[in-house]
């Protein structure tokens, strides 16, 4: 690709800013100062800006441990004035390209996957792909054992024509359960329990497909996914 394009794809610089910068002689390619914006470079060329190496952004795959009082939104708006977006926690360049693969409510915590690869994200969010999302749920009241069967049969949510897809419920303690769902309707987990006359008091997402929230990540921390984690989405859901 052209050198000025490489600069745009590895920094926040615009094309015209890149061209201006090149004229100053602060960019070297394989050890040689290059001022020509049309110079062709390979993706893995050693390109330094004021001595610091530049790398192409490429496709990014991120897991974040969402804290409470943050929103899964990429746009600013009234809510964004009240709560920061999870994207703001990343502090990476070209964050406007990033999309959230499966949003969580402002008061929900846990695993959020963020990427600029639209196809990969679609494999997680499309109900057709049936990618499982596992939640740890705290409830206002101890649920009845019969809830296991009700979730397995699908729950009739208010305002929906069809029942939810079969979901798997496991009891952890009196008022704490694990619930795995395979779709992502608006406030789905809270509405499922509301349909059974219960109320969710805390909600935490632990797993998406076979990607589990890294226990080393404190609330608000993030890391890039491993190759295996990225590829697992294809294997599990396609």
Contacts to ligand URA from residues 199-238, by CB under 6 A: 203
DSSP H or E run through 101: none
Q: Which residues of 9-28 are buried (b: 16+ CB within 10 A; e: fewer)?
A: bbbebeeeebbebbeeeebe
Size of site (CB under 6 A) for ligand URA: 8
- The least CB distance from residue 69 to ligand URA, in Å, is 13
Closest by CA to 156, choosing from 105, 194, 201, 129, is 194
Question: One of 4, 105, 107, 214 is an active-site residue; which one?
Answer: 105
Looking at the Cβ atoms of 45 and 195, the one nearer to ligand URA is 195
Vertex 101 angle, CA 147 and 220, to 5°: 90
Looking at the Cβ atoms of 105 and 160, the one nearer to ligand URA is 105
Please enumerate in sequence order all residues whose Cβ is within 8 A of that of 40, keeping only pairs 6 or more positions apart, or say none. Answer: 1, 2, 3
Residue 86 as a binder of ligand URA (CB under 6 A): the answer is no
Residue 177 as a binder of ligand URA (CB under 6 A): the answer is no
Candidates 10, 164, 188, 237; binder of ligand URA (CB under 6 A) is 188
Contact between 7 and 55 (Cβ < 8 Å): no
Residue 183 as a binder of ligand URA (CB under 6 A): the answer is no
**Known active-site residue 228:** no
Q: What is the C-alpha to C-alpha distance for residues 81 and 166, in angstroms, rounded to an integer?
A: 37
Per-residue interface string for the shown chain with ligand URA, residues 97-116, x marking contact by CB under 6 A: -------xx--x--------
Residue ranges that bind ligand URA, judged by CB under 6 A: 104-105, 108, 187-190, 203
Task: Give catalytic residues, as residue numbers.
Answer: 105
């Amino acid at each position: 690709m052209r050198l000025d394009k490489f600069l745009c794809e590895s920094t926040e610089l615009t094309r015209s800013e890149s061209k201006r910068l090149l004229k100053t002689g602060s960019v070297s390619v394989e050890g040689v100062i290059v001022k020509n914006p049309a110079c062709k470079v390979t993706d893995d060329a050693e390109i330094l800006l004021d001595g610091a190496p530049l790398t192409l952004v490429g496709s990014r795959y991120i897991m974040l441990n969402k804290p409470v009082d943050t929103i899964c939104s990429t746009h600013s708006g009234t809510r964004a004035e009240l709560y920061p977006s999870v994207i703001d926690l990343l502090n990476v360049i070209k964050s406007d390209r990033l999309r959230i693969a499966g949003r969580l409510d402002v008061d929900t915590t846990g695993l959020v996957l963020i990427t600029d690869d639209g196809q990969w994200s679609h494999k997680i969010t499309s109900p057709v792909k049936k990618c499982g999302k596992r939640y740890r749920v705290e409830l206002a009241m101890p649920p009845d054992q019969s809830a296991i069967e009700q979730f397995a049969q699908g729950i009739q949510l208010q305002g929906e024509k069809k029942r939810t897809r079969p979901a798997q419920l496991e009891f952890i303690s009196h008022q704490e359960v694990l619930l795995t769902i395979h779709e992502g309707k608006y406030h789905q987990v809270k509405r499922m329990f509301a349909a059974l006359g219960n109320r969710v008091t805390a909600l935490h997402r632990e797993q998406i497909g076979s990607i589990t929230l890294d226990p080393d990540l404190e609330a608000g921390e993030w890391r890039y996914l491993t190759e295996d984690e990225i590829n697992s989405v294809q294997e599990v859901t396609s």
